[in-house]
A and B are shown apart, each in its own frame.
Chain A
Amino acid sequence: MSTVVGARPALTWAVHIAVFVLVAIWTIPTLGILISSFRDKDQIVTSGWWTALAPAERNLVVRAAAPDDAIEENGRWVLRGNVFGEISGSVSAFGVSIQRPTEFSAGDTAETRDGELITIGENGDYAISYPERPEGARGQRLFVTSQEPPKFTTDNYETVLFSEGIGQSFINTLTVTIPATVIPILIAAYAAYALAWMEFPGRALLLATIVGLIVVPLQMALIPLLRLYNDIGVGKSFIGIWLAHTGFGLPLAIYLLRNYIAGLPREILESARVDGASDFEIFRKIILPLSFPALASFAIFQFLWVWNDLLVATVFLGNNEQQLVMTGRLRELLGSRGGNWEILSASAFVAIVVPIIVFFALQRYLVRGLLAGSVKGG
């Protein structure tokens, strides 16, 4: 359409802006998690992630040292200390009463009703001088507004990978995903070849039945299979979940692959037959290499599906430390660490980074697969 004479520039701009807004809405949520996962855990809860690059303003309430510890200096009793503990920052304002927490700027001297002189420097050093020797163990309350420089850290990742069990879950997910992707492809490809190019009675009926099974929702299969697993002693094992994912993925895999394999040029297969190749050789040397695009698109489907699956993993793999997969761990963290965004955001990012890499690297095949059989509803 861009070649048509007289295109309207205003409309073109509107399109650019509209797409930009859409893209923004679709990427900002993920960006938020990504940025937060690298922020200091205290800063995450005190300021929005979109202010991550600006200095964070914090309101601290600090109790000064006990008046008993005051030392005599030039006739007055003085207490010295620093309002910051381990954290650093710079004081922009302070106050001595809760009503007016930002009454004085850093470096100013405040005088209380009792005649105490309080001063807090920018670096957080405070000095309280009493006219007479003070008594008591409760220190003076100081209200400090501090500016902290933005802090970025990989601590969150270290925490989740090594002490929150995400590392183990990552391995578990990998252990589930790779065979649960390869096995159904292998099984489906052989079946698809048989259904596309081999002669046997009942072929059409069998194909229809297998494709028809795409309608069975996953939920349906859970209880019977769980009981079956328990009865025959498979229990909660990797083999059990591989086969479960294989079973649930097979109808779609066979459907997609059969369509593709049946569309390969018949003459090529005949030529191989004239060349003396058996069915097994034709499959390995001709069909498999030629079906690569279809195999790849199904592989990506299945990979994303298995990697992201929560339901099947929850049911067929235990919730124990050794077997919990990433989605399960994430869900558990959402429950137990609902407010700890430094852990949640880092965990979430660890969980989504692999599928996102796969997605961007192999998008072409994914799109092709979607177009070939947009029927899987999960």
Chain B
Amino acid sequence: MALSQTTAAPAASESGFASALTTFVTALAVMAAGLIASIAVAVAVYAAFDFVLPYTKLLNALLVMVLGVAACFGYFWSSNKLLDTIYPASGAQIVSNITKANAIRPWLFLGPALIVVGIYLVYPVVNSVILSFHGPNGEAWVGTRNYEWLAQDPAFRESVRNNILWLIVVPAAATFIGLIAAALTDRISWGNIAKSLIFMPMAISFVGASVIWKFIYDYRPAGEAQIGLLNAIVTGLGGNPQAWITVPFWNNFFLMVVLIWIQTGFAMVILSAALRGIPEETIEAAVIDGASPFQIFYKIKVPQIWSTIAVVWTTITILVLKVFDIVLAMTNGQWGTQVLANYMFDWMFRGLDFGRASTIALVIMVMVAPIMVWNIREARKGIR
């Protein structure tokens, strides 16, 4: 832990429940006052502008943006100001004032984060568990019926099967290609440019990438000019064009290619840093021992970055478990390409069954959580 003491003021001198309660109540009051004040000012300014200025979309968007950010900053400023006014660090009461202010201030700093995280992450987990025992609109209690339904649902099984396929293929392929790319680009003069270009798909949205790859997979009947690169190559080599994303089973792999394409750059960047972190002496020792470049790579370098490889692998694994956009955009789960995240989305918006959708979400969470926990622990050990 970073430090234990930062201030001269001792912890609350009047110990006990009463003082803790006072601290808590004061903190809440100051927080609320700051929050209300800043939001009120933002709303007032918005109303004033809205009244004065001709209403245009762009202007409105800009105003909303600026006010949103300003209100956030306003909160921190005004709540701190308020605290300093209530407990000024001067005058006769200085010691007790500083003590009290120091007990409250951390909570002013933390307050918004705690509230937001509480609403957006803690509450949903609890609520999802509850919802998974309820019917479509979340009202009728149905016991474990959603789970029973899930267990025998063929589409769910298909999703699980496909998810497992994704889990096996994508992290392995992205990590492996990323490792190769990292090792190769580190050896050449234009390696940084190459890295940038391989890394670039990381900036592209899954939907954008789906459009890009759908164009590659585009299909025209035999005899017509093929405008999809893949079919052009296939017909150029004398084969028959295929509607790739409808080919049963194999279409999953064509979807996976999109994610591999996006994630390889990530793997490469992390692994490249790890490779460069290997002590030069171990490599020099191996050179003197007569190892070939390939032996150096597989026997000296790779074992030394094993923990980083594991972190990269699991990070991509977590991403894969939640993959949604690519399937939605490319096939929407048709032709046997359904995955859990998209299936959940299906039940949420098309099936309009919050109970079943929550149950599927819980399945995703149960699958993700252990890998994530391991990953965070490993990342803290390995990288720092």
Interface residues of A (CB under 8 A from B): 1-2, 4, 11-12, 15-16, 18-19, 22-23, 26-30, 32-33, 36, 44-50, 168, 171-172, 174-175, 178-179, 182-183, 186-188, 190-191, 193-200, 203-204, 206, 210-225, 227-228, 238-239, 242-244, 246-248, 250-251, 254, 259, 262, 266, 269-270, 273, 278-280, 283, 304, 307-311, 315, 327, 330-331, 334-335, 341, 344-345, 347-348, 351-352, 355-356, 358-360, 363, 367, 370-378
Contacts and interface: CB of A to CB of B under 8 A. Distances in A.
B58 A351 contact: no
Contact of B376 (A211, A238, A254): A211
B207 A351 contact: yes
Contacts of A191: 109-110, 112-114
B26 interface: no
A29 B131 contact: no
B261 interface: yes
A193 B368 CA distance: 29
Contacts of A219: 322, 324, 341, 344-345, 360-361, 364-365
Contacts of B265: 26
A246 B116 contact: yes
10 contacts: A28-B229, A33-B212, A187-B116, A220-B125, A223-B138, A247-B121, A283-B109, A363-B196, A370-B269, A371-B383
B167 interface: no
Given A179-B68, A344-B211, A352-B208, A250 B329 contact: no
A176 to B, nearest CB: 9
A216 B184 contact: no
A44 B181 CA distance: 33
Nearest to B80: A280
Contacts of B185: 19
Interface stretch (B4-12, B47-55, B145-153): B4-12
Contact of B120 (A27, A47, A221, A259): A221
Interface residues of B, number: 125
A222 B361 contact: yes
Query: Which 9 A-B residue pairs are closest in the complex by CB-CB distance?
Result: A247-B120, A308-B205, A377-B318, A359-B203, A224-B127, A191-B113, A221-B124, A194-B109, A215-B372
Contact of B121 (A33, A213, A358): A213
A330 B211 contact: yes
Contact of B6 (A18, A29, A273): A273
Contacts of A341: 215, 218, 227
A48 B225 contact: yes
B381 interface: no
